[in-house]
Every structure is written in structure tokens, then in C-alpha cells.
Amino acid sequence: MQIIGIRMRKAGRIFFFEPNEEELAKGDWVLVDTSRGLECGKIVVGPRELLVDEKVETEPGLPLKRMYRKAFEDDLKQLARNQAEEKYAFEICQNKIKERELPMKLINVESTFDFNKLIFFFTSDGRVDFRDLVRDLASIFRTRIELRQVGVRDQAKCLGGMGGCGRPLCCASFLGDFIQVSIRMAKDQNLSLNPTKISGVCGRLMCCLKYENDLYCENRPRTNIIFRPRPGIRVVVADGEGKVVAVSFSRRNATILLDTNKTVVAGWEDILPVNAEDFEAAEEPMQIETPKPVEKPPRKLERPPRRERPRRMEAYSRRYNRSDKIERNTRPERPPKSRGDRTRRNSKRNYKK
């Protein structure tokens, strides 16, 4: 079976579909049926054979689907009109947010190919009651409205920008999905642990810390040493520098009060000390339990087989002797009685007075 990789948005995730009988190549525009509805995407991975044990990325909870058809010129014009409608919807929604004074910031607007649904992405510090806003937008556009709250990393991916290296943001240019980054990677690469130097535009650790981490850790021996923080010392985490307030040994995490008066909870693997003295004092080797050899239970002594007693060939009974038994067997058999010869047993009770 052949598969193709399709990307719906710029720097979006790549989903795989099964092609139809049409001739397709990398860079063609096609129409596919997704959980949102009918959408138009671009082929970024050309047709290739699916391996036997290969697992391809599809939409969450959905099997591998077949593409709808190849896009025509009219479909591309419809896609351009949809992009213009998205800009218009962005302005309308921004004005409605100002009118209702909602504590939210609009980030982006997306629509399906058939304009059956409009999705508005926004950020907010807390929960927002936007039910009245949804009614206003539904009465204007006459279509399904969906508002989705996203985080700071998704905000940087939607808006784009320039990183500290002078190049466009990786998440907005080619990264389809976010990768997990920890502050331990910065320490392994001997980088500065200053949060302002290793954080990106979004305020989180830069994604590029993951790119060369495998090269640094390839020839370095793995040490089973974990920093166990103590209350009162200053440490560095992904969100900044702060002071340890509480330590949980059962959950292996610590509560840290940052210099910005914000409290965060981080695991021991994501915490680094500011002073080297605290690190040496708190650093202890992990007690690795070596597996004990399994002791086989002692083998039980086999019981010798029991001797068989010789059987007596003669007939024997505890009640009768051998001669009585022979005489008992030679007695003539009693003739069987017919049913009519049976006499009715009288009742013990006499009901006659």
C-alpha cells in the first residue's frame, strides 16, 4: 500500500493518507477529509510504499484514510478566498472582544475548506466565559464557531518571529510538533544556565537545545547522580531562578518560589543549583539495587518406590471361610417371583374401631 504525507498549514503536523488512482507528486495540492471537515493540503512527502512494521502518523483516534481528490484551479481560488475571510473574521472578533472587555488575546483564525467551521485561537491567564462572544460571531458568519485556548508556545508558533540567532523561529518555519526540552540538556552542553540566554521568544527553553544534545551525550558516560535540593537554597529551573520552598521525596519534586513571585513545581531532574557548594553538598549517588541472583530451591529427595505386596490368588473373606464361601456359591438360585404373587402388606395401623 502507498501513502503520502500532507501538511494543512505552514509548519503544521504531517498527516499520512492513502492516495487514489490519480498521479501525484510532491508539491501538489489535494483535498482530504479530516475530523474538522473537508480541508485542502499540500503534499510534502511523495508517494511511497508503506513498510510492514511501520507506524505512520494519522489524525488522533482515526485510522489511515483515503484522500478525496486532487485540487483544481477553482479549489485554489476558493482557498485564497477563505484566507481573505479569515483575516476579516480576525478583525470582527477582535472588535467584539474589545466591546465585551474580555481578558483574552486573539492569536489566529482558521477555517475549513468548505467554510463550514471557524476556529479562533486565543491566549488567556485564566478561564474566560465567551458564550456571548460565540453567539455574536455565529449571528454574523452563519457557521459553526469554535474558540480554542492555547499556550505560549503555540502563540509563538502562530505569530512567528525572529530568534536570538537572527533566524526565523524553528516552530514557525519547519517544526511540525514541539519536542521535549529540559534544563539538563543545557548543562550537558556546558551552556550558561542564565534563563534569559537559554529561553526563546515564548519564555520557555529553546527547542534548539535538543538538536545537538545527542552529539554531546554520545561519548559521555552516563552518571547515576541526581541533584536533591534542600529547602532554602537557590536553584535554576526552566522558568527562571528562585528559592526552594519545599521538597517532596515521595514524588521526587520540589516547590520553587521564583524571583518574579511565581511558584512552580519541578522534578529533581530539571533542577540545577546556582552555587557549586550547594551542588556538592546536596549531590548524592543513587543507590542502585543490583539484582540478586535467584536461588534455586533445594531439590527434594525422591522417595523410593513402594514395594508391591504379593496378591493372594485364593478368594478370601473376613466373614466367611474359604469352605463356607464355596458352599454359598453352590446354593441353588431362588426362582424369581412374578408380580402377581406378591401379597399386599397390611398396614400397621388399624383404622377400624
Q: What is the mean pLDDT of residues 174-179?
A: 81
Residues of the chain with CATH 3.30.300: 78-154
CB 3 within 8 A of CB 16: yes
Least confident residue range of 158-172, 214-228, 261-275: 214-228
Cell triple for 47: 508517494
Arithmetic mean of pLDDT over the chain: 78
- Better-predicted residue by pLDDT, 110 or 278: 110
Distances in Å between the Cα of 313 and the Cα atoms of 63, 124, 229 are: 78, 101, 89
CB 284 within 8 A of CB 224: no
How confident is the model over 77-96, as pLDDT tens digits? 998 998 899 999 999 999 99
Residue 209 CA, chain-centre distance (Å), reads 23
- Cα(346)–Cα(350) distance, rounded to whole angstroms? 9
- Cα(333)–Cα(73) distance, rounded to whole angstroms? 112
CB 20 within 8 A of CB 69: yes
The whole-number pLDDT of residue 314 equals: 53
Residues of the chain with CATH 2.30.30.140: 225-284
- Cα(59)–Cα(6) distance, rounded to whole angstroms? 11
Confidence tier at 293 by pLDDT (50, 70, 90): low
Crossing angle (nearest 10°) for helices 131-141 and 73-100: 140
Unique residue bearing C-alpha cell 503520502: 4
Unique residue bearing C-alpha cell 489524525: 59
Q: What is the DSSP letter of 260?
A: T
Confidence tier at 321 by pLDDT (50, 70, 90): low
Confidence tier at 285 by pLDDT (50, 70, 90): very low
Fold of 225-284: SH3 type barrels. (2.30.30)
- Cα(128)–Cα(123) distance, rounded to whole angstroms? 10
Confidence tier at 288 by pLDDT (50, 70, 90): very low
Q: What is the mean pLDDT of residues 11-23?
A: 83
Architecture of domain 78-154: 2-Layer Sandwich (3.30)
Count the residues in the chain.
353
pTM here? Answer: 0.60
CB 218 within 8 A of CB 251: no
As a whole number of Å, the end-to-end CA separation of the chain is 103
The whole-number pLDDT of residue 287 equals: 46
The whole-number pLDDT of residue 13 equals: 82
Cell triple for 266: 519541578
Cell triple for 3: 501513502
- The one-letter code for the residue type at 111 is S
pLDDT at 292 over 50: yes
Cβ-Cβ contacts under 8 Å for 352 (sequence gap 6 or more): none
